[in-house]
């Protein structure tokens, strides 16, 4: 029996179809979030790993549908997906390879169902995104879409009373920093797709135009804009470092690791400077491995 097969068994996933579904979603998550996937496999109890993967894969699939702005080659779009998810939650059944494992995870972790509803309710804000006028609009986006997306996984990691005892505020700090970091770090890709995720207010404050960003101009204004945005993201990420205290001991190493990896990414983006206008920054492999090794040694504490 392979390590992954033992992980599925530890999580109580026994049927061949479900095991295939979770295995397929594992491949998806491992392909697009390598550092996060490595942290999940190394630092979380085996019985939780497939469920975190199913929630992450669901979020990723929804994001892809939102980006389509209409039906894809398979005929699937967000409206059809939203209806399918609602039907699956109502009946507990689905033939969709992404939804089927998620429904099994909901049966094992019922708190997830409410977070799925909140995530889908905020999803049109991302689908219909045309830019932010200012910071207030960005914060509304975080509250309506980014935070509910993060809670799909966070609710599996935290204690049942975490949201009522201060954990939600730290989740909010984390996702504010992480989302702002993503918007800076993914500027090159987003601009190629015609999407500007920095607010008009921020650009005006630094005397920067959209063309400056699209053409990768290395100007004092562009450098200041990137530096200030990344510094704000880093402050919020650091403010969330106590989040692990709202989780069971077996989950704390993973939570510390994902916060640390985001801080490393922010630092890498700051070092890259205007280079992020040509491509995203990533932490160095030795630095990321150092975080994973340190937290692997601290598991359960």
88-120 pLDDT per residue, tens: 999 999 999 999 999 999 999 999 999 999 999
Instruction: Return the pLDDT at 183.
Output: 97
175-195 pLDDT per residue, tens: 999 999 999 999 999 999 999
**Token pair belonging to 204:** 């005006």
CA distances from 259 to 36, 173, 178, 232, 253 (A): 11, 11, 9, 15, 10
Give the mean pLDDT of 193-198: 94
Which residues of the chain does CATH 1.10.600.10 include? 156-301
Class of domain 156-301: mainly alpha
Contact 288, 37 (CB under 8 A): no
Task: Report how far residue 46's alpha carbon sits from residue 128's, in angstroms, rounded to the nearest whole number.
Answer: 38
**Token pair belonging to 221:** 């204004």
Task: Report how far residue 32's alpha carbon sits from residue 111's, in angstroms, rounded to the nearest whole number.
Answer: 26
List the one residue out of 203, 237, 235 whose CA is nearest residue 221. Answer: 203
Task: Report how far residue 299's alpha carbon sits from residue 301's, in angstroms, rounded to the nearest whole number.
Answer: 6
Torsion sign across C-alpha atoms 265, 270, 272, 276:
positive
The maximal CA–CA distance of the chain, rounded, in angstroms, is 60
**Scanning the structure block, which residue is given the tokens 């920095």?**
198
Task: Report how far residue 213's alpha carbon sits from residue 110's, in angstroms, rounded to the nearest whole number.
Answer: 44
Residues listed for the chain: 301
List the one residue out of 301, 248, 290 whose CA is nearest residue 38. Answer: 290
Instruction: Return the pLDDT at 301.
Output: 60
Instruction: Return the pLDDT at 33.
Output: 79
What percent of the chain has pLDDT above 70? Answer: 97
Contact 39, 258 (CB under 8 A): yes
120-156 pLDDT per residue, tens: 999 999 999 999 999 999 999 999 999 999 999 999 9
Whether residue 300 has pLDDT greater than 70: no
Torsion of Cα atoms, 157 then 162 then 168 then 171, to 10°: -30
21-56 pLDDT per residue, tens: 999 999 999 998 788 899 999 999 999 999 999 999
191-194 contacts at long range (C-beta below 8 A, 24 or more positions apart): 191/277, 193/67
Confidence of residue 285 (pLDDT cuts 50, 70, 90): very high
Torsion of Cα atoms, 16 then 17 then 22 then 24, to 10°: 110
């Amino acid at each position: 029996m392979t390590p992954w097969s033992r992980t599925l068994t530890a999580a109580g996933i026994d049927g061949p179809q479900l095991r295939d579904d979770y295995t397929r979603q594992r491949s998806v998550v491992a392909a697009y979030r390598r550092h996060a996937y490595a942290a999940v496999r190394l630092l979380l109890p085996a019985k939780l790993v497939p469920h975190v993967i199913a929630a992450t894969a669901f979020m990723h699939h929804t994001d892809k549908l939102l980006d389509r702005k209409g039906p894809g080659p398979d005929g699937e779009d967000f409206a059809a997906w939203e209806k399918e998810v609602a039907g699956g939650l109502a009946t507990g059944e689905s033939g969709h390879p992404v939804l089927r494992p998620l429904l099994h995870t909901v049966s094992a972790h019922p708190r997830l169902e409410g977070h799925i509803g909140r995530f889908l309710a905020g999803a049109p804000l991302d689908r219909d995104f045309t830019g932010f006028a200012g910071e207030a609009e960005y914060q509304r986006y975080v509250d309506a879409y980014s935070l509910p997306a993060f809670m799909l996984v966070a609710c599996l990691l935290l204690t049942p009373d975490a949201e009522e005892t201060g954990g939600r505020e730290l989740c909010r700090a984390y996702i504010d920093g992480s989302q702002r970091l993503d918007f800076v770090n993914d500027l090159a890709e987003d601009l190629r797709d015609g999407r500007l995720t920095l607010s008009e207010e921020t650009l005006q404050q630094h005397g920067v135009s959209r063309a400056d960003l699209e053409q990768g101009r290395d100007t004092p204004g562009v450098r200041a804009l990137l530096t200030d945005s990344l510094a704000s993201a880093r402050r919020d990420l650091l403010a969330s470092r106590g989040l692990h205290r709202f989780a069971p001991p077996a989950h704390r190493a993973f939570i510390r690791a994902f916060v640390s990896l985001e801080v490393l990414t922010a630092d890498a983006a700051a070092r890259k400077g205007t280079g992020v206008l040509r491509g995203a920054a990533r932490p160095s492999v030795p630095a990321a491995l150092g975080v994973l090794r340190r937290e692997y040694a601290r598991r359960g504490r």
